[in-house]
Chain A
Amino acid sequence: MNKKQKIRALIIFACAFVAILAGVILTGLNKTGHGEDIQVVMRDAVLHETYKVSLFGLIDVNPGLISAFVVTGVFLVFALIVRIFVIPKFKIIPGKFQMFLEQMVEMFSNMAKGNSPECYKFIGAYIFAAGSYICVGTLFELFGFQVMTTSGTSIALPAPLSDINGAVCMGCLTYIIIMIGGIVKNGIVGFGRTIKEFSLPISMSFRLFGALLSGALVTELVYHATVMSYGIPVLVGVLFTLLHALIQAYVLTTLASTYFGEVTEKKIKKPKKAKKAAA
């Protein structure tokens, strides 16, 4: 680091320090700067009682559902553009974007094949969709699209899976798919193996919900403490969002493919002679 860089770093540090100090002095340490109670925000993040959004004027829903629809719409547009304009121009030696798409598909396909070698085609497609949904859905909250609630306030759209209903949907759907796979592949044995893991839908649902909620709550807490509300929420929020997007997508897809592999695994029957000899 030369002299100029040192001076520049010192100036930046001094500016940041002065800004934080000014914030502390001007706003006061014990006041919240948002006119809304942190307890209300956190309670609503868990229970979704306060802020509702009208769905086409038909019913009032949690903002997470609106986020889910928006994410699906974004995926639809993206997939259509890729299908119409990109995939027909695929080359034998791929370019960067083609490489990215192929890597995504291959990663989930190989994960399914590795964890569930008996039956991997459907679960490969499922974890591709689930992983993409969780990852993009979680990153979606970074954009902070505003939506008007029924109470007239404006809120930023959260991640779809920070809504308990979305998380329960993903957990239960994954469990149902695992169960159907087990029944199709192994009949009653597969059903029994799935039932044995009866806590799976609850654990999956609450893992997703808890992970995403914790990120949101920590960010809210940091944001509501005035002294920490300058710059730090951005860092914390982005960090939590990015980490949760990748980690939760990886965890759910790995768990889904592993359990699917377990229940679809063929039971190896012992030969009768060996049994008799053992007896």
Chain B
Amino acid sequence: MNGVPLNLDWQQILLHLLNFVILFAILYFLLYKPVKNFMDKRKAAYQEMDDAANAAKQEAETIKAECEEKLAGLDAEMAKKRQEAIDAAQQRAKSITDNASQQASELLAKAEKQAEAERDRIIAEAGAKVTEMAKEAAEKAIFSDTSEAFDSFLEAAEGKNQ
């Protein structure tokens, strides 16, 4: 046993050191780094997929919110349009009714006017006929027996009235 405790040999320690440094380099460059790189790349790819999925989800939620908002607006708009259509229909119906009523009034007035004119005409014609008949009766009375004339006048008058 020499003077160094536990027979430590610096040369062999350095050889062990050299051996471990070589081993470290081998393991680092051939195993640790490539495996770690692969794992990091895979992690990044999964992270990217996760981010894309989250972004798509966010976008979908935004679109959904927009659609819901639009849908809610659409309901209100539809109700408004429906009310407007009902109002317009009612107005139109009223207008048609008024128009029809006016036309009916006009027609009635016109009919009344025509009827009045017809009555006047008939009365005038009847007057004329009465006058004519009276004239004929007078002529007959003048030219025939009075009773016969009177009877024929009455018969003629009754026949006209029927």
**A interface with B by C-beta (< 8 Å):** 46-49, 55, 59, 61-62, 65, 68-69, 71-72, 75-76, 79-80, 82-83, 87, 90, 92, 101-102, 105-106, 109, 124-126, 128-130, 132-133, 160, 163-166, 168-170, 172-173
**Could you name 8 residue pairs across A and B whose Cβ atoms are closer than 8 Å?**
A49-B7, A61-B9, A65-B19, A87-B34, A102-B39, A130-B20, A133-B20, A164-B8
Which residues of A have CB within 8 Å of B20?
68, 129-130, 133, 169-170, 173
Across the two chains, which residue of chain B brings its CB closest to A46? B6
Across the two chains, which residue of chain B brings its CB closest to A90? B38
Report the minimal beta-carbon distance from B149 to chain A, rounded to whole angstroms: 137
How many pairs, one residue from A and one from B, have CB atoms within 8 Å of each other in the complex? Answer: 105
**A126 and B36: CB pair below 8 A?**
no
CA distance A43 to B153 in the complex (A): 182
Q: Say yes or no: A165-B8 contact (C-beta < 8 A), given A47-B1, A102-B39.
A: yes
CA distance A59 to B6 in the complex (A): 19
User: Is B16 in the interface zone, CB < 8 Å from A?
Assistant: yes
Across the two chains, which residue of chain A brings its CB closest to B31? A79
CA distance A46 to B8 in the complex (A): 11
Q: Mark contacts of B2-23 with chain A using CB atoms, 8 A cut-off: 1 yes-contact digit, 0 otherwise.
A: 0000111101111111011011
**B39 and A68: CB pair below 8 A?**
no
Leading 4 A-B pairs by shortest Cβ distance: A79-B30, A169-B16, A165-B12, A129-B24
**A79 and B27: CB pair below 8 A?**
yes
**A101 and B35: CB pair below 8 A?**
yes
**B39 and A129: CB pair below 8 A?**
no
Majority secondary structure, B binding face:
helix
Which residues of A have CB within 8 Å of B30?
79-80, 82-83
**B interface with A by C-beta (< 8 Å):** 1, 6-9, 11-17, 19-20, 22-24, 26-28, 30-36, 38-39, 42, 45
Across the two chains, which residue of chain A brings its CB closest to B11? A59
**B26 and A87: CB pair below 8 A?**
no
Among B7, B16, B22, B34, contact of A65 (Cβ-Cβ < 8 Å)? B16
Which residues of A have CB within 8 Å of B42?
92
**A68 and B36: CB pair below 8 A?**
no
Which residues of B have CB within 8 Å of A168?
8, 13
Q: Say yes or no: A165-B9 contact (C-beta < 8 A), given A125-B28, A129-B23, A173-B20.
A: yes
Across the two chains, which residue of chain A brings its CB closest to B10? A165
CA distance A102 to B16 in the complex (A): 28
Among A83, A126, A130, A170, contact of B31 (Cβ-Cβ < 8 Å)? A83
CA distance A71 to B13 in the complex (A): 16
Across the two chains, which residue of chain A brings its CB closest to B12? A165
